[in-house]
């Protein structure tokens, strides 16, 4: 089985027909907040849904497999996912982030920095000199967002994660725009991958959610424990809907790429358009990395 076909199979079928109670083909929505213990002081696999929930775990397992990660943690939004991924930072620690990152990301990092939670350096990650200068400051985390939202800037994940690790930093990649259908940052050296599942993973504009995928299981377990502690884990219904959307991820992304290429070519040739921000056309500076 080819790698591409295997990934499509995971998206379409992971967790299907796993219901041991009634044989349901689709993973049920487990809305219960609490779960029965088998006996006094003997906990079962689940006890309280903030800590663990079968529906949420089915989605987390599927996304972890698609990203090639060891553990995924489902949370209430993409911003909650990013905040969770950066939760190891302490006052005085330096975070290196993209200068043109998503507006919500820029706001979160700026607000955290203003409150003294950590320091932030916004850097043009396409500039090797700027990257080198930032890494020389000894950051604890390097955040990568590629393609960037909304200007579609592309950077070299493999190179930046290697440089980050050489500097002793954790490499975190926001993979929201390409999704694991087109890009797997863990295979390129990332320690953590974050998504706003609101967008391409769900794909139906009816759920807000987020996920953090860890390359190392122990790191993933630590993030899961912290997500439970601060109460940002996602709801079972949102997990069910996102898993439903994930089933069609590959076919949706393939059609979206075809549509986007047609639109980009049309706009690039239009005399009223000065610049097209899309890494497909050869005129885009990110084309060589696309």
Residue among 246, 197, 239 at smallest CA distance from 31: 239
Burial category of 64 from C-beta neighbours within 10 Å (exposed 0-12, middle 13-18, buried 19 and up): buried
Nearest CA-CA partner of 278 in 157, 128, 178, 176 = 178
| Measured CA distances, 84 to 111, 224, 264, 278 (Å) | 15, 9, 35, 30
Exposed, middle or buried, 233 (CB in 10 Å: 0-12/13-18/19+)? buried
CB atoms under 10 Å from CB of 68, counted, come to 17
Q: Please tell me the total number of residues recorded for the chain in this structure.
A: 290
d(CA 171, CA 140): 9
Closest C-alpha to 180, from 240, 225, 278, 246: 246
Any idea which residues carry the catalytic annotation? 50, 102, 174, 199
DSSP β-ladder status, 71-75 and 210-214: antiparallel
Closest alpha carbon to 74 in 55, 56, 51: 56
Q: Tell me the C-alpha distance between 287 and 281, whole Å.
A: 6
Instruction: Give the bridge partners for 75, in sequence order.
Output: 210, 233
């Amino acid at each position: 089985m080819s790698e591409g076909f295997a990934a499509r199979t995971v998206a379409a079928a992971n967790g299907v027909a796993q219901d041991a109670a009634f044989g349901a083909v689709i993973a049920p929505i487990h809305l219960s907040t609490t779960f029965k213990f088998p006996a006094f002081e003997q906990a079962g696999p689940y006890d309280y849904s903030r800590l663990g929930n079968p529906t949420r775990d089915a989605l987390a397992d599927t996304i972890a497999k698609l990203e090639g990660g060891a553990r995924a943690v489902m949370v209430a939004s993409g911003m909650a996912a990013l905040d969770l991924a950066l939760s190891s930072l302490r006052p005085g620690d330096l975070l290196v982030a993209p200068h043109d990152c998503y507006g919500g990301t820029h706001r979160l990092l700026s607000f955290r920095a203003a409150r003294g939670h950590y320091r932030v350096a916004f850097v043009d990650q396409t500039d090797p000199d700027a990257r080198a200068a930032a890494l020389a400051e000894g950051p604890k985390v390097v955040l990568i967002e590629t393609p960037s939202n909304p200007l579609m800037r592309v950077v070299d994940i493999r190179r930046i994660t290697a440089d980050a690790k050489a500097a002793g930093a954790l490499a975190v990649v926001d993979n929201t725009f390409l999704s694991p259908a087109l890009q797997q940052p863990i295979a390129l050296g990332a320690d953590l991958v974050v998504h706003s599942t609101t967008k391409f993973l769900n794909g139906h504009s009816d759920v807000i959610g987020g996920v953090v995928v860890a390359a190392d299981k122990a790191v993933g377990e630590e993030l899961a424990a912290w997500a439970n502690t601060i109460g940002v884990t996602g709801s079972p219904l949102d997990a069910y809907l996102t898993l439903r959307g994930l089933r069609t991820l590959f076919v949706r992304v393939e059609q979206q790429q075809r549509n986007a290429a047609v639109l980009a070519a049309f706009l690039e040739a239009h005399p009223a358009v000065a610049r097209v921000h899309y890494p497909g056309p050869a005129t885009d500076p990110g084309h060589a990395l696309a």
